[in-house]
Structure formats: structure tokens, C-alpha cells
Amino acid sequence: MPSAPGAAPRRRPVLPARAAFWVQASVLVVVMAASSAPSPLYPLYQDLWGFPPVVLTVIFAAYVVALLTALLTVGALSDHLGRRPVLLVALVLEIAAMLVFVLADSEATLVAARLVQGVATGTATGALGAYVIELEPEGRRGLGTVITGAGPVLGLAGGAVASSLIVATAPEMIDLIFLVLLGLLVLQTVGTALGPETVERAPGALASLRPRVHFPPHVRRSAVWVLPAAAACWALGGLIIALGPNLVRLLTGADSVVLTGVVVAALTGTGGITILLLGSTAPERVLAVGMSLLVVGMAATIAALAAGSVALYFAATVVAGIGFGAGFLGVLRLLLPQAAPHERAGLLSAIYVVSYLSHSIPAVVAGAVAGRIGLVPTAAGYAGMVLVLALFVLLGLIRNRPAARERRIARP
């Protein structure tokens, strides 16, 4: 019925900004948990349907290709259309992916689920990170950037560990993790629909769909020496996910899914907690701490592989996990403040393009090389590559100290 003359127009319910902030923080964690949850279940699917090992590579590649395609095309779309509409589309796609996982009956449906999930995750990444920063509660400066850094890492850990526990305790309940995630995503979709918008629509939406990795001109000088830190951190994640299960099996002599999940959590969970604890530390300092610990962790990893010590390998992973968290937080805290609000989602998407490429390409190459030269030499060489990247960033920090000092003075 039409409104009475002079009546105030009806408005949709809107969550308070503080509540919306925590809703989106939870979305960030759950979306990333959903991305890591399928990995520990692949051996069960392989036993059920009898597909060859090469199919696992296809499933992994399908997710990565879809995610990178979305990051390169729609990664900056929310800078033009608004955060909420882009996130709502991403959440609907993520819900669809969970449904496909629940209904999966062949390797083809697994590939389809990962394709849809890759598009959903890539669509959400830039918009979600920017939205969390823009909803940051008053008086909590920097909290949005901390959550943007910690959320994905904690989500990756939570998804992998939860799936690993299900595999170990109730392998017949293979769909349980997806049903739980489905329920959470439905609630978060409602919460997102009720949230406030933080940016005004701007022209250029179609032009923004042109595939590109865009760093604003005033960010590029810093990006040259800061981005290798993101590459080192996420390449380390690729090492743990691609070669970690086989390394654990080799060092322990046991095929333990739970132990594999614990090693993944030792890296990503430790990294996420580190980000939360170091959120107020100066960005140059936190980056220096992260890269220094990454060097120590990788050196210890090489020593553990040479000695065949699982205890040293686990300790090295914990140290490297602290470096992972501090290093990635340093990247975000150094680069994001240099971007204008309308550049935020695009810059975040570009950072994640670099991160996911570093996470996936070395992991795929390592999997192929390990079959030729052996698992331990491959893993040691991989750790050495991460160590060299971390050293490069440390040298960059030393060379750019004057510029960093100028940025601190210029900050209000």
C-alpha cells in the first residue's frame, strides 16, 4: 500500500556499524575456512570413487584458476558498485559451492564445487577486506587491518583442522563440515544484507572488469620491496600444504591426518594469533620481526630435514608461523594506508593475486620436482627460496629507512 502523505519513507533495517564490523570479520574467517576445509577430505573421496592422483592436481588447479580470474576481473568492482552487493553475490556463490560439496558424487562435481568456490572467494576477497577496514569501530584505529590480516590465516587453520578431526573421528560423516559452513554462510548472508554501505557508487564499473593487477602509482615504490614478503609468507603456506603431509609421514613413519592438521595449524594458527598480538606495532618493525623469524624458521626447517627430526620440524614451523603472521601484517599495514578509499579493494585484490600465485605455483612445481629428485631435497630447496625472499625484504627495510621515517612523520 502507498505511504500516507508526509510519512517518512520506509528504510531497510541496518545493523549498527560495530555489529556489522564483527559480522564481516566472521565472514572473512568462514569464507577462508571453507576454502581449506575440502583438502583433508580428498583422500576419502579418492577411496570412495577411485580416481587417480592427477585428479587432485586438477581439483587444486581449478580452485586457483577460478580464484585468480575473479581477483583479476571483479577484485575492484566493489570500489564502484559498493561493498554489500558484491559481497552478497560472493556469499550466494559460496553457499552454492557448499551445496555442491554436500551433493557431490564424483570427481567432476568436486571440480565444479572448487570452481564455484574459487570465483566466490576471489570475488569476496578485495571487497571484504576493504569493508572490514571501513567498518572499523571508532577508537580502535588499526583493528580493521589487523582483522583483515588475521581472519584469512585463522580461517585457513580452522577449516583444515576441523576437516582433519572429522576424517580421523567420523570418516562416514564427510559432509558434516560443509553443512556447518552452509548454515554459518546463510546467517552471514542475512547479516550482510542488513549491514550499512560504506562507499558511494562510482563510474567505471565495466572498465574495472578488465583483467589487471593494479597498484596505485604512489604505492608502487613501496610495493617493489614489500610484496616479496607476501610472496615469502604465502609460498611457505604452499610448502606446508603441498609437501607437509608427505614430510610428516616421512619424519614420523605414520600416516596421521590429525598430525598433518596440527602442522598446518602450527603455521597458520600461530600466524593468525601473531597478527592479533602485534596489531599495534609499527609496520616497519613488525615486518622486520616477521622476515627475521621467517629466516630462522626456514633455516631450522632445513636442519630438521637434514637430521630427520620431527620435533625440530614442528618447532621450526611454529617459528615460521610467527614470521608468517608478522610478515603479512607488515605488508598490509605498510601498503593499505597509502591507498585512497576508492583504491582499497583493488589494492587488496592485487596483494592477494601476488599471494595466491606465490602459494600455488611453487607448490605445483614442488610436487612435480619431488617425484624426480626426492621429497627432502625439494622441501629443503623450497625452504631456501623462502629464506632468500625474506632476506631480500630485510635488505629493503634497511635501504628504505629514511622513507619510512618520513611516512611516520607525515601521519596525523
List, in order of start, the domains of the chain with CATH numbers. Answer: 13-200 (1.20.1250.20), 215-412 (1.20.1250.20)
- CB-CB contact of 275 with 328 (8 Å): yes
Per-residue pLDDT at 13: 61
pLDDT score of 393: 94
CA-based end-to-end distance of the chain: 51
Query: For a pLDDT cut of 70, what percent of the chain falls above it?
Result: 92
State the average pLDDT for the chain.
85
Give percent of the chain with pLDDT exceeding 90. 40
Residue 199 in contact with residue 78, Cβ under 8 Å?
A: yes
The confidence score (pLDDT) of residue 404 equals 54
Asked whether residue 211 carries a pLDDT value surpassing 80, the answer given is no
Q: Binning pLDDT at 50, 70 and 90, where does residue 293 land?
A: very high
Is 233 in contact with 327 (CB distance < 8 Å)? yes
Stretch 272-296: mean pLDDT, rounded? 91
Task: Choose the weakest-confidence range: 64-68, 90-94, 337-341.
Answer: 337-341
Compute the half-sphere exposure of residue 62: CA atoms within 13 Å on the CB side of its CA.
17
Examine the pLDDT at 402 and tell me if it is beyond 80.
Answer: no
* Rounded Cα distance, 320 and 344, in Å: 28
Give the separation between CA 349 and CA 352, rounded to whole angstroms.
Answer: 5
The SS3 assignment for 399 reads helix
Residue 12's pLDDT band, with cuts at 50, 70 and 90, is: low
pLDDT at residue number 2: 43
Cβ atoms within 10 Å of 171's Cβ, excluding its own: 13
pLDDT, average across residues 335-352: 84
Contacts of 100-104 with C-beta under 8 Å, sequence gap 24+, read: 101/38, 101/175, 101/178, 102/175, 102/178, 102/179, 102/182, 104/45
- Find where cell 510519512 sits: 7
Look at residue 7 and tell me whether its pLDDT is greater than 70. Answer: no
Evaluate if residue 412 carries a pLDDT over 80. Answer: no
pLDDT top residue among 294 and 272: 294
